[in-house]
Amino acid sequence: MNLPSDTPQTISRSSFAFLSGTFLSRLSGLGRDTAMAVIFGSHPMLAAFMVAFRFANLIRRLFGEGPISSGFIPYFEELRAASSENAAKFVRDLLFSLSLVLIVAIGGLEAILWGIYQWAHLGPDNAEILYLTMWMLPGAFFICLFGLSSSLLQCERRFFATGFAPVAFNGVWIAAVLLLRGKDPFFAVYSLSLAVILGFLMQWAMLAPQTFALLKRSLSWRECFRPQLFSSPIRRLAKPICFGVLGVGAVQINSALDGVFSRCASLEGPAYLWYAIRIEQLPLALFGIALSAALLPSLARAWEEGVSDRYLKLLRFSFRRSFSLIFPCSLGIFVLGLAGINFLYGHGGFSQRDTVQTAICLWGYGIGLLPSVFVLLLAPAFYARKEFRTPMIGSVAAVILNLLLNSVFVFVFQWGAFSIALATSLAAWFNYFYLSYRLAQKFGKPLLDLQVYRSFFKTGSCTLIAALAALLVGHFFIEDPTLKVMMGDTNGAISRHIVVQSMHLAALCGTFLLIFFSYAWMFNAEDVLELIGVKKKEVGVS
């Protein structure tokens, strides 16, 4: 099926559809994390579970959402341009070939981890992490298949379902947390590990029917279940997948090691980072991943058709739109982060100290939010051209830098869990500058033009004024401790009453948004005004 030509408007619609579904899934994710914080707090066993979850997710990142998606979409678009039947066979063969690879990989890893658990002399904490990883590992099979189904539906511009599907996973997790309330933490984390597997299965089940329906459109039922394992088109994916595995694998191994570093910083460190990064990933998923998901198929089609001007136009539009969304979120993390964490998590077993330390970690991640989104846009720009080496090199180099910074910050400066968040952000900035430089070299001219920088300046000015106003209002009028914590005073009183927490957060958010959109109107920040449906002629611009 041929799709209409891609334009900035189609990318906006696609990213909005993905954003809508992702927004609902992230709301359920916040509900999940809030339930975890209130019921389990920052208990060391929960911290061990969070480290194990990162390790168990490694296969998901290696064979699911990253390399498969980046390699699959350009080749699928190439095959579809020639024959829809060949494209359907490519999907079928990849689905069954990937399933076989996953079964072998998961089985091999389980055997290796069991051997380490039995014969290596691990301390009690590390043994728990390893054993919990083994419990959760089978769930990676289902979530990797979900990644492939998601990529196929994105090529068909069916973005809402792919963004919404994680609601099923979060729903299973929340139900498990509520059922385990009051249980021994040791028993609870092992039960949660089983719930993770069931949640991944339910998440894939949300997309599986649509995946097979798309196959059935070009193939008979008999053909759907007669795959050619590792067919010629599948073998063509070997190179991009290998590059992707190296790049994503390095990032994910580094993410898992972040948990180890944070555990060295403090026993509760992994929990602080977990709660912080879940908030930081909200705008990243809603806006950055939404734009990236919508952008890759469009760029791949533009490059396949040889329309380089449209390719560059779509990429520049994505930079403008992402900055207008993400830069306000980045400064909002610093101004609203402490009040937001206190409102979401500051109840039950989540202490005042937990609130402050989580906020500090969130600020560390906030430094790298903008470059993280830009990297999400630049990587598809290379993948669409079937150039996989450069993003891999950037990822590996950023990981090496991150590990070096972690070592220095944790063991030399002893900055605690904040060290890991800061190192992650600095590595993201390095990766962005590297990828933007390399892509500009490909075009032989600057990647971003004057129109993009003008948009950046307008949005940035409005955001800075709004952030300063909210910070001062919080400090002088509602006794918000954010400014004091930024100055190093972490012992100030933080309200634990839900009504006061709500009022503080509402006052800060209201001030920030009112000033931000007021100045956007005054400065005629077009990209910001378009987000709320205001056109240029409505603000007196012809």
Tens-digit pLDDT profile for residues 450-476? 999 999 999 999 999 999 999 999 999
With tokens 């021994």, the residue in question is 184
- Reference 92, options 3, 241, 221; nearest CA is 221
240, 231 in Cβ contact below 8 A? no
pLDDT for 539 equals 40
Low-confidence ranges of the chain (pLDDT < 50): 1, 537-542
Query: Rg of the chain's alpha carbons, rounded to an integer?
Result: 23
225, 167 in Cβ contact below 8 A? no
DSSP string for 325-378:
HHHHHHHHHHHHHHHHHHHHH-STT--HHHHHHHHHHHHHHHTTHHHHHHHHHH
What's the CA gap between 175 and 199, in Å, rounded? 10
Provide the residue type at 409 as one letter: F
What's the CA gap between 401 and 254, in Å, rounded? 10
What's the CA gap between 68 and 284, in Å, rounded? 20
Token pair of 135 as six digits: 């419990």
Token pair of 357 as six digits: 């330390």
Tell whether pTM > 0.85.
Answer: no
pLDDT for 187 equals 84
pLDDT for 337 equals 94
pLDDT for 361 equals 93
Tens-digit pLDDT profile for residues 482-495? 988 888 877 777 88
* DSSP label at residue 284: I
What's the CA gap between 12 and 298, in Å, rounded? 11
Q: Give, in order, the Cα–Cα distances in Å from 49 to each of 136, 275, 381.
A: 10, 13, 36
Distance of CA 98 to the CA centre of its chain: 23
pLDDT for 474 equals 93
Phi first, then psi, for residue 2 (nearest 5°) are -85, 140
Provide the residue type at 279 as one letter: I
pLDDT for 282 equals 81
pLDDT for 540 equals 41
Indicate if the alpha-carbon torsion angle 422, 423, 426, 427 is positive or negative.
negative
pLDDT for 541 equals 37
Collapsing DSSP to helix, strand or coil, 121 comes out as: coil
237, 94 in Cβ contact below 8 A? yes
Half-sphere exposure of 42 (CA within 13 A, CB side): 24
462, 516 in Cβ contact below 8 A? yes
User: If residue 412 lies in a helix (H) or strand (E), which one and from where to where?
Assistant: none
What's the CA gap between 387 and 383, in Å, rounded? 5
What's the CA gap between 349 and 155, in Å, rounded? 44
How is the chain split into domains, by residue range? 9-236
Provide the residue type at 243 as one letter: F
What's the CA gap between 505 and 510, in Å, rounded? 8
Q: Give, in order, the Cα–Cα distances in Å from 230 to each of 64, 101, 240, 486, 538.
A: 17, 10, 15, 55, 56
Token pair of 220 as six digits: 């008979």
- Reference 310, options 8, 2, 81, 75; nearest CA is 8
What's the CA gap between 357 and 415, in Å, rounded? 11
DSSP string for 48-73:
HHHHHHHHHTHHHIIIIITHHHHHHH
Q: Give, in order, the Cα–Cα distances in Å from 70 to each of 5, 127, 157, 164, 383.
A: 21, 35, 16, 21, 6
What's the CA gap between 326 and 299, in Å, rounded? 21
Token pair of 254 as six digits: 């580094």
pLDDT for 67 equals 63
Which residues, including other chains, have CB under 8 Å from residue 55's CB and lie 6 or more apart?
Answer: 129, 133, 256, 259
| b/e 321-331 (16+ beta carbons within 10 angstroms → b) | bbbbbbbbbbb
Check residue 289 and give left, alpha or beta (phi > 0: left; psi -120 to 50: alpha).
alpha
What's the CA gap between 160 and 154, in Å, rounded? 9
What's the CA gap between 415 and 310, in Å, rounded? 46
DSSP string for 179-201:
HTTTS-HHHHHHHHHHHHHHHHH
